[in-house]
Amino acid sequence: EPPDTPNDFSCQTQDMRIVTCTWSQGGDTHLYGRHSPKYTLSEEFSQKTVPCTVSCSEQCSCSWDIGQQRICNITVTVENPLGKKTATDVFDVTHRIYPAAPFQLWEESTDTEITLYWKHRNKEIELFCQTEVIQPDGQVELHNSSDAQLHSGSVTLGGLQPYTEYTARVHCGAAKHFWRWSEWSEALTIRTKEASPSGKLDIWREITPVLGGRNVTLFWKQAPSFRANARSISYEVTWEKVEDGSKPESISFSSVYNSTRISIDNHSYRISIMAKNNVNYSLPSVLIIPRATGNSRNTLFCSFVGTKELKEEQVNGTDDGIFISWEPRHIYDSYIIDWCNFPMLQPCDLQWKRFGPNTSSALINSAAFVPGVRYNFHVYGSVANTASLLERKTGYLRELPTLLDPVVEKVELTFNAVTLSWDSYPTNKSQFGFVRGYHVYVSPIQEKCSLKGSKKHVLPDGSVLCKYTIENPEEKRYTVKHLLSNTKYKLVVKAYTSGGETPIVNFIYIDTPFNSNVLYLLVLLVIVPSLVAAICRWKMKW
């Protein structure tokens, strides 16, 4: 086959002396050896053959020295015994500059600024360069710069984060007649200098009354806006009395710690926690612990003014967390909710979240939340760094059936009724769900449950029970009426939650007594008439 016309034929230079032309080979001609396609290049203005050696792999290329020539008309010719094809490129050398990649990158940096420098091989050509900066989050920024010095270039990158790694590389193009970018330089990874910690720590406390004072467990964590700005940090905790201005006490901790416990008396205290690195301290985070009120009902988590007992309100869980709402009060500048991730353990992994003054509800979620565990939440209002307990909540991510069923402690029988009592059943004890009420099950005499006030309930094995529902969990006594006398029954009492109830396993068995009224009626209707008849008959015979 004859050769194809050379595709994508184009010429360029890095230094305006050595020109390189490239093109695509085209399809297979199926001619080999001395009959394979032959390439030649010629310059039309000088009517000379270009003195270069063609090499082909993925693309074909040919390079040669053009000397002082600036306008070129290059033709590539490909031919074999079956035909010949040509392609032409006419160009001004100054418009086809493809610079060499910048090299020898180095930098100077501060905590928020990097100046990047590089060198050029194209020393006679004015270049326009572009710097690619990869941010810590993977985002890419491009910065343009014009190189006034022909042998080197630089760019200053500002607004950076302290003690943070950035990766930069540079490529350049001709400033006057841009043709294409050079290859990228080698990438340089740069870390900015350290600076003082920015932002403040998020701090909280847990107060436990003890004889003569209080134990205060302090917790701290890095808020989303906090940055260490250094290789390592430590923490400094300081506390002092508010009233008398006594000498503060302080203690330092390494970065692996996020809590400590201090002991204070019943006076009001100011507690501050700061992060520290090799440069300086962060701004202090402050808590005020009010003076103890003498209220014997101080709880584990709170120190608040007033003696009113706060009722615990039940809250509901969802697939995404546990929904908490509270009544907003205009006097507070923020709200805090705290809870334990593992309420049955000590320490319980206390957690807390802060909310703005215009917030009155939140969905609390945690990877530690599991179905069947009761979580207790405390809602605080904070003003002037002083927190007051406002509301208490308790709830489950999802309720499960309770494993603790009522134990029937007392059974009272009549010939047509039975009264069951389970007075000591602990409805407020920690369960797998809130006890919402009870079901009383009674075995019927016939398959169809006809006991008044009951509903038919079919067990997995197909047997039938009559079910009565008690919707008040504090009502722990129930009378099943309309039973038959002198009859065997089996009964069971089950507690239920929003998650249902456990399968029925054990029954209690009763025998209703014989109905004495029936006996009296039998005597009146059968025995007495028979006796009267017998006496009359005897008299008649006599």
Ranges 96-110, 197-211, 471-485, 505-519: which has the least confidence: 505-519
User: Can you give the pLDDT at residue 429?
Assistant: 75
Note whether 233 and 214 are within 8 A (CB): no
User: Can you give the pLDDT at residue 301?
Assistant: 39
* pLDDT 10s digits, 57-69: 888 999 999 988 8
Evaluate if residue 518 carries a pLDDT over 90: no
User: Can you give the pLDDT at residue 520?
Assistant: 56
- Count CB atoms within 10 A of the CB of residue 129: 24
User: Can you give the pLDDT at residue 453?
Assistant: 84
Looking at per-residue confidence, does 529 or 336 come out higher? Answer: 336
| Amino acid in the structure at residue 35 | H
User: Can you give the pLDDT at residue 524?
Assistant: 59
Note whether 466 and 442 are within 8 A (CB): yes
Identify the residue whose tokens are 């309309």: 482
* pLDDT 10s digits, 382-406: 999 999 999 999 999 999 999 888 9
User: Can you give the pLDDT at residue 302?
Assistant: 39
User: Can you give the pLDDT at residue 437?
Assistant: 95
Average pLDDT along the chain: 89
* pLDDT 10s digits, 310-355: 889 999 999 899 999 999 999 999 999 999 999 999 899 999 999 9
- Average pLDDT rounded to a whole number, residues 91-114: 94
Evaluate if residue 113 carries a pLDDT over 90: yes
Residue 419: exposed, middle, or buried by beta-carbon count in 10 A (0-12, 13-18, 19+)?
middle
Q: What global pTM score does this model have?
A: 0.75
> In 333-481, where does DSSP find H-type helix?
none
Query: Which phi and psi (to 5°) does residue 516 adopt?
Result: -65, -25
User: Can you give the pLDDT at residue 294?
Assistant: 59
Note whether 465 and 449 are within 8 A (CB): yes
Residue 310: closest CA among 396, 383, 379, 210: 379
User: Can you give the pLDDT at residue 304?
Assistant: 38
Evaluate if residue 206 carries a pLDDT over 80: yes
- Count CB atoms within 10 A of the CB of residue 236: 16
User: Can you give the pLDDT at residue 397?
Assistant: 96
CA–CA distance, 408 with 272 (Å, rounded to integer): 56
User: Can you give the pLDDT at residue 169?
Assistant: 97
- Average pLDDT rounded to a whole number, residues 186-200: 96
Ranges 26-30, 88-92, 440-444: which has the least confidence: 26-30
Domains of the chain and any CATH numbers: 7-95 (2.60.40.10), 103-191 (2.60.40.10), 201-289 (2.60.40.10), 312-381 (2.60.40.10), 408-516 (2.60.40.10)
Evaluate if residue 82 carries a pLDDT over 80: yes
Angle at 396 between CA 391 and CA 399, to 5 degrees: 145
User: Can you give the pLDDT at residue 403?
Assistant: 87
Evaluate if residue 299 carries a pLDDT over 80: no
| Amino acid in the structure at residue 167 | T
CA–CA distance, 481 with 88 (Å, rounded to integer): 109
* pLDDT 10s digits, 415-451: 999 999 999 999 887 689 999 999 999 987 666 777 8
User: Can you give the pLDDT at residue 446?
Assistant: 65
- Average pLDDT rounded to a whole number, residues 5-22: 92
Evaluate if residue 160 carries a pLDDT over 60: yes
- Average pLDDT rounded to a whole number, residues 57-82: 90
User: Can you give the pLDDT at residue 530?
Assistant: 75
- Average pLDDT rounded to a whole number, residues 127-154: 89
